[in-house]
C-alpha cells in the first residue's frame, strides 16, 4: 500500500524538528495532536520547501562535469570536447570563492567552475535562522578541526570550526551575526606604511579599502539610529547590513552602563572617523531576520542561472595539476587544472585554460598546495610528494584571533538569549517546547523575535586603556 502524502509531509517535519535536539522528547509529546501538527506545518514549511529555484542550478554530483580518472588515465569526453574544460576553476566555495565566482562570471565569455567540498547552505535546516548558528558546529557542515596541543593552554587541543558548505565559515561564524565591523582605519594605514613605498602599497590604506566596503554593502538605515551618516555607507551592494535582529534588554543596559562610565556614543563604527566609543552592532542580518552569507548574497538564482557559471558541490579537491611551459631559457610550472573526488571516492579531473584559483581557506589552501607539490621541500619529501615549487612559507606563519569570554553577574538577572531552556539532565518540558514553537511561528511570520539574533548582547564598546 502506498504511503499517504500527508504521512510523508509529517515525516519531513519531524526530521526538521530533530535538529532541535534539546526539545526532541517534548516534541514527541506534541505530535499526537493534529492541531499542533498544523501549527508546526505553518511554522516549518518555509524551511522544508523554500529551496526551490536555487537547487536546480547547483550540481551535487560533481562527476557530471569532470572527466573520470581510472588507473591514472583520464577518460575521453565522450564526443564533448568541452566537457571538463573551463577558463577559470575556483577551488573552495567559501567567503572568497562565492564572490569570485559571481564577479568573474559577469563576463559571459569567461567559463567559470566553482568546486566546493560541502553542499549549499540553503539545503541545511535552519541555516538562515540567526539564533541557531550553533547547529552547524560539530556537524557534517563543519570540518571539526582541532589544533595541536597548545603550550599556553595547558596543552589542550582547541576546537577550530571550519565551514564545509557554500559560504564557508561565513555560513557558521557567530561574528557575522553579532558584528559587522571594518576595523580601525589606522590599522589599514599602518599596513600601507609598512610596505615601505613598494608598488601598490597605497592600496592597503583605509581610503582605498573603503571603496570596496562601500561597493559590497547595502546598508539599511534605521529610525532607531538616526545619527548614522548614510552618505558614508554603501547602498547598492549585494550584502545586506543594518540594525536588524532582536535587541536584548541587556544590550540597552550595557550601552547605558557605557554612558555612565563616560564612554561617548559612536553612531557608526564603520566610517573613517574611527572605532572609539560604544554602539549597538550592525549585523549581517537582512530585513526579514535571515542570516546573510556570501552564498546568499553573491550566488543568487539570477547568478546561478548564467550559462557560463557552473557550481558543483560535494567535490573534494585533492591536487592541482601542473604542466611545464617554456619561459625564456627555463621551464616553469603552470597550473592547468585540478583533480577531485566525489562522495563515492571516484576521481575526476577538470582543465583550466586561463587560471586556477585556490580559495579553500586558511587551513585547506596550504594543504592542497602541499599535496600538489608546492611548499617546503623538506616537508614534501617526508610524504614522498614530488616538488613543483619549493616555497617554505606555505603552511607556516598562521595567526588567528582567539576570543576569550568573560562572564559577569548582572543585577537584573536578565538572561542573554531568553530562549526556552531546560536542564539537560531532565526531559524537556512541554511548556518550553510550546514556547519554542511560538517563537518559530513569530519568526516565520514576521522575521522578528529572539530567533532573529544570536545569543550575544550585540553591542560594543571600544576605548583606549
Query: Which of 281-290, 305-314, 339-348, 382-391 has the least mean pLDDT?
Result: 281-290
The pLDDT assigned to 40 comes to 52
pLDDT at 443 over 60: yes
Q: What is the pLDDT of residue 310?
A: 97
DSSP codes of every residue in 297-357 = HHS-HHHHT-TTEEEE-S-EEEEEEEEEEEETTEEEEEEEEEEEE-TT--EEEEEEEEEEE
Least confident of 206-220, 340-354, 391-405, 447-461: 447-461
pTM: 0.83
Q: Average model confidence (pLDDT) for the chain? A: 82
**DSSP code of 35?**
H
CA distances to 242, 436, 453 from 442, rounded to whole Å, are 21, 10, 13
> What is the model's pLDDT at position 400?
79
Q: pLDDT tens digit string along 139-172?
A: 888 889 999 998 888 999 988 888 898 888 887 7
Q: Which residue has the higher pLDDT, 140 or 12?
A: 140
- pLDDT higher at 252 or 106: 106
pLDDT at 264 over 80: yes
Q: What pLDDT is stored for residue 22 in this prediction?
A: 42
Amino acid at each position: 500500500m502506498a504511503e499517504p502524502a500527508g504521512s510523508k509531509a509529517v515525516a519531513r517535519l519531524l526530521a526538521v524538528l530533530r535538529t532541535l535536539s534539546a526539545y526532541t522528547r517534548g516534541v514527541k509529546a506534541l505530535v499526537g495532536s493534529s492541531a499542533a501538527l498544523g501549527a508546526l506545518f505553518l511554522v516549518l514549511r518555509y524551511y522544508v520547501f523554500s529551496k526551490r529555484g536555487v537547487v536546480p542550478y547547483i550540481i551535487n554530483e560533481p562527476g557530471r562535469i569532470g572527466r573520470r580518472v581510472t588507473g591514472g588515465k583520464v577518460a575521453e569526453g565522450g564526443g564533448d570536447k568541452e566537457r571538463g574544460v573551463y577558463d577559470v576553476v575556483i577551488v573552495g566555495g567559501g567567503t572568497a570563492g562565492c564572490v569570485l565566482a559571481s564577479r568573474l562570471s559577469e563576463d559571459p565569455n569567461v567559463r567559470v567552475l566553482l568546486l566546493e567540498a560541502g553542499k549549499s547552505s540553503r539545503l541545511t535546516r535552519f541555516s538562515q535562522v540567526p539564533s541557531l548558528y550553533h547547529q552547524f558546529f560539530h556537524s557534517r557542515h563543519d570540518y571539526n578541526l582541532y589544533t595541536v596541543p597548545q603550550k599556553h593552554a595547558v596543552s589542550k587541543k582547541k576546537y577550530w570550526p571550519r565551514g564545509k558548505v557554500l559560504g564557508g565559515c561565513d555560513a557558521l561564524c557567530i561574528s557575522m551575526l553579532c558584528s559587522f565591523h571594518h576595523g580601525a582605519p589606522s590599522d589599514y594605514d599602518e599596513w600601507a606604511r609598512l610596505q615601505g613605498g613598494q608598488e601598490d602599497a597605497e592600496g592597503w590604506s583605509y581610503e582605498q579599502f573603503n571603496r570596496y566596503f562601500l561597493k559590497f554593502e547595502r546598508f539599511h538605515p534605521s529610525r532607531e539610529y538616526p545619527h548614522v551618516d548614510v552618505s558614508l555607507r554603501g547602498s547598492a551592494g549585494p550584502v545586506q547590513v543594518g540594525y536588524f535582529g532582536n535587541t536584548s534588554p541587556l544590550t540597552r543596559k550595557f550601552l547605558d552602563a557605557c554612558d555612565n562610565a563616560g564612554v561617548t556614543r559612536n553612531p557608526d563604527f564603520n566610517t573613517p572617523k574611527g572605532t572609539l566609543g560604544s554602539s549597538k552592532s550592525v549585523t549581517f542580518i537582512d530585513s526579514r531576520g535571515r542570516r546573510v552569507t556570501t552564498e546568499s548574497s553573491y550566488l543568487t538564482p539570477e547568478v546561478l542561472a548564467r550559462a557560463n557559471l557552473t557550481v558543483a558541490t560535494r567535490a573534494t579537491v585533492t591536487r592541482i595539476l601542473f604542466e611545464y611551459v617554456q619561459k625564456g631559457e627555463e621551464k616553469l610550472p603552470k597550473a592547468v587544472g585540478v583533480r577531485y573526488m566525489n562522495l563515492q571516492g571516484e576521481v575526476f579531473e577538470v582543465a583550466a585554460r586561463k587560471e586556477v584559483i585556490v580559495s579553500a581557506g586558511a587551513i585547506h589552501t596550504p594543504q592542497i598546495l602541499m599535496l600538489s607539490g608546492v611548499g617546503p621541500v623538506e616537508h614534501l619529501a617526508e610524504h614522498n610528494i614530488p616538488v613543483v615549487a619549493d616555497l617554505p612559507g606555505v603552511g607556516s606563519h598562521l595567526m588567528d584571533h582567539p576570543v576569550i569570554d568573560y562572564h559577569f553577574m548582572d543585577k537584573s538577572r536578565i538572561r542573554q538569549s531568553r530562549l526556552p531552556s531546560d536542564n539537560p539532565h531532565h526531559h524537556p518540558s512541554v511548556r518550553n517546547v510550546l514556547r519554542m514553537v511560538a517563537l518559530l511561528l513569530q519568526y516565520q511570520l514576521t522575521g522578528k523575535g529572539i530567533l532573529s539574533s544570536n545569543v550575544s548582547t550585540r553591542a560594543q564598546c571600544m576605548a583606549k586603556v
